Amino acid sequence: MLKTFDIVLIGVMTAMATVTYTIKHRAELKLEEVRRLESEIKLEKDTIELLKADWALVSQPNRLEKLVNAYSGELQLQPTLSTAIVQPSEMPMLRSQLPPPTVTASNDPKSGKPVKGNASIASKNGDTTDAQIRKAIADVAAAPAPRPKAPALVKRKKPDIDNIATGSVDE
């Protein structure tokens, strides 16, 4: 009987050693994956820092001014007038600030019953009628939309990309 018990214990011990080895191997694989991901993250962070530095170089006001002067004939840029800037008080009201409309069914004057398909929109105060809404929609539709003047198309030469990327301009 002792031999049978010893064989069972050896089998259990071998199975436990196999399970332990498998778990250790999986943990090592996961650790390698974590290290690989950390190196990819570091590479991405370094790339972001490099791009930020490149953007700071490309968007320098002196460089942009030189580019505007160099390509002013082709781009036909004009300074923005102070009257073209919208003040905050001139901005339209946000939808979240508008009072929500309520829909009320119109009643037939003879029977007093609601009529299908004939609804009027009223504000919380009840002072907006269908005629007022239709008139407002017609006024908006009748107003001509301002169209920006399109600049004339000018065939332009391709800029030297190497000069743009380094921030230097050929003059």
Average of pLDDT values for 30-34? Answer: 96
In a domain, 68, yes or no: no
H helices present in the chain, as ranges: 2-58, 61-70, 72-75, 130-142, 161-166
In a domain, 108, yes or no: yes
Domain end: 37, 61, 85, which one?
Answer: 61
| Number of domains observed in the structure of the chain | 2
Average of pLDDT values for 57-85? Answer: 85
In a domain, 135, yes or no: yes
Domain that holds residue 44: 2-61
Share of the chain above pLDDT 70, in %: 60
pLDDT score of 34 more than 90: yes
Residues 6+ apart with CB under 8 A from 63: 57, 167, 169
In a domain, 72, yes or no: no
- Collapsing DSSP to helix, strand or coil, 105 comes out as strand
| pLDDT tens-place string over residues 121-146 | 444 445 566 677 777 777 766 666 55
Residue 37 contacts residue 146 (beta carbons within 8 Å): no
